[in-house]
């Protein structure tokens, strides 16, 4: 078992900077909080989920929003067999995805976008988060 785990870790490290569920990633918030992405997450100033069927219950991550720029449930990070995606949950002020190469773009609400290690999300009110490999 230990040798199998070591092989998986070597494979994940050798695969480069693409995060997959085998090489769990973390979101590092500008506040310093780290959110493990061993399952999905919903992020907002008062996040909630309506229903979950057949999947793990996502982690609810509450972030500060002094100006109320961040929606209650602003973005969702999903984990699947191919990696990680982010979906803006029809937030009022939108979400900006800043790719690791520095290219920034607003993402369309309700549509999943792939995330890679080094990508950053800006959800407003000074709240940013970066996808990193888990330590």
Each domain of the chain, given as residue ranges in start order, spans 2-133
pLDDT grade, residue 71 (50/70/90)? very high
Contact 26, 43 (CB under 8 A): no
Q: Among residues of the chain, what percentage have pLDDT more than 70?
A: 80
- Write out pLDDT tens, residues 7-31: 444 444 444 444 444 458 999 999 9
pLDDT at residue 15, as a whole number: 41
- pTM confidence score: 0.80
Task: Residue 116: count other Cβ atoms within 10 Å of its Cβ.
Answer: 16
The Cα 111–Cα 133 span in angstroms is 24
pLDDT at residue 24, as a whole number: 81
Place of tokens 């996040």: 47
Task: Residue 12: count other Cβ atoms within 10 Å of its Cβ.
Answer: 18
- CATH number 1.10.260.40 is the correct assignment for the domain at 2-133: no
Between the CA of residue 6 and those of 105, 118, 134, 135, what are the distances in Å? Answer: 38, 24, 15, 15
């Amino acid at each position: 078992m230990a040798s199998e785990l070591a092989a998986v870790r070597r494979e994940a490290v050798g695969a480069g900077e693409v995060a997959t569920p085998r090489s769990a990633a973390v979101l590092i918030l500008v506040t310093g909080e780290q959110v493990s992405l061993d399952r999905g997450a919903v992020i907002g100033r008062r996040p909630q989920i309506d229903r979950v069927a057949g999947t793990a219950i996502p982690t609810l991550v509450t972030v500060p929003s002094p100006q109320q720029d961040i929606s209650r449930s602003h973005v969702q990070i999903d984990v699947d067999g191919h990696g990680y995606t982010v979906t803006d949950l029809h937030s009022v002020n939108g979400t900006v995805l800043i790719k690791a190469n520095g290219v920034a773009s607003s993402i369309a609400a309700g549509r999943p976008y792939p995330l890679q290690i080094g990508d950053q999300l800006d959800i407003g009110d000074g709240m940013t988060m970066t996808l990193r490999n888990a330590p």
